[in-house]
Amino acid sequence: MSMRTAAVTQVRRPSAVRALTILLGVTAAATVVVELLNWWYAPEQGFGLAVRTGWAMLRTLGFLVLISHVRRGRAAARPLGLILAVTTVFAVGRLIVPRQGMPPLPGVLGFALLGTLCLSVVWLLYRSPAVAAHLIRHRRGLVLAEGRIAWREVAPKRPEATGWLLTSRVAALTYSPLMLVPALIAGGAVLDGRLVAVPAVLFWFVAGMAVSHLVLFCVAFLMRGKRWAGTLLVAITLGVLAVHLPLCWWLLGVDGLIRDGAPLVAAAGLALYSLRRAATS
């Protein structure tokens, strides 16, 4: 009996970590409920709203990945949680505001609830000493030790990246999906007869895919402490904004500029701010 108690005590996580795990599960469930409420009360349930709602609900998978990171004590949980919280608030906020009139009360209440949950998640990730002490582990992998192959934690060969650098990487990795979602919505407008916009929509898609590869290449060297990679990330970010914002305005109007431009501006601002803090720390 004492051996069992000792085993349970050994793997028992701090109460703050358990609370964070539960809070993430509640936030994921609340995201789905709020998105369904927005869809139910929306005056126009068109193709654009369907795409935006589907993308917002995909964040539920992101929260499940985050729960796994927290349970395993991975250091990458903090930047992932921050960017998930920020983009979720923007994604839900842009859905509750109709093209005309005031947003429905259930949507406003759901947005307030989800905003409070996301704020609580960020607070626990960055302000709880118990959570900070727990999120220190590296990824696991196959290693050769004492003549045997074992699956264990792998210490990084390069200097450990700072939290700000990890945050910049995670924020930059959101550029591509944040570009592709409105490009898909603009594709629906092309199907409605705006054939003149076909080259622009195709360019938007290609640019979104190219940004994904460019960011992956850039952050790989950024994590290795290469200064030129930081300069390249700034150039990529400015290029993304220069392409994305005008296309949002031209193909989706002012409404699309607000709904689909603001989340990418927020991600870009977070990436650049984190990059600057990483360089001065």
> Average pLDDT for residues 223-248, to the nearest whole number?
93
Reference 271, options 181, 176, 179, 173; nearest CA is: 173
> What pLDDT does residue 88 have?
82
> What pLDDT does residue 147 have?
61
Query: Would you say residue 112 has pLDDT above 80?
Result: yes
> Average pLDDT for residues 264-278, to the nearest whole number?
91
> What pLDDT does residue 99 have?
61
For β-strands 148-153 and 140-145, DSSP reports them as antiparallel
pTM of the model: 0.74
Helix count (H) and strand count (E) of the chain? 11, 2
- Residue 210: C-alpha distances to residues 174, 176, 179, 180 (Å): 13, 8, 11, 11
Q: Using one digit for the tens of pLDDT, what is the confidence trace for 59-79?
A: 788 899 999 999 988 888 888
Q: Using one digit for the tens of pLDDT, what is the confidence trace for 118-144?
A: 999 999 998 899 998 888 766 665 555
> What pLDDT does residue 239 have?
96
Amino acid making up residue 190: V
How many angstroms from the chain centroid is the CA of residue 82? 8
> Is residue 81 a contact partner of residue 39, using CB atoms and an 8 Å limit?
no
Strands, E, within the chain: which ranges?
A: 140-145, 148-153
> How far, in Å, CA of 50 to CA of 72, rounded?
34
> Is residue 242 a contact partner of residue 218, using CB atoms and an 8 Å limit?
no
Which of the residue ranges 21-35, 151-165, 173-187, 216-230 would you say has the lowest mean pLDDT? 151-165
- Domain extent listing, the chain: 13-155, 159-281
Question: Which range in 26-40, 182-196, 242-256 is most confidently predicted, on average pLDDT?
Answer: 242-256
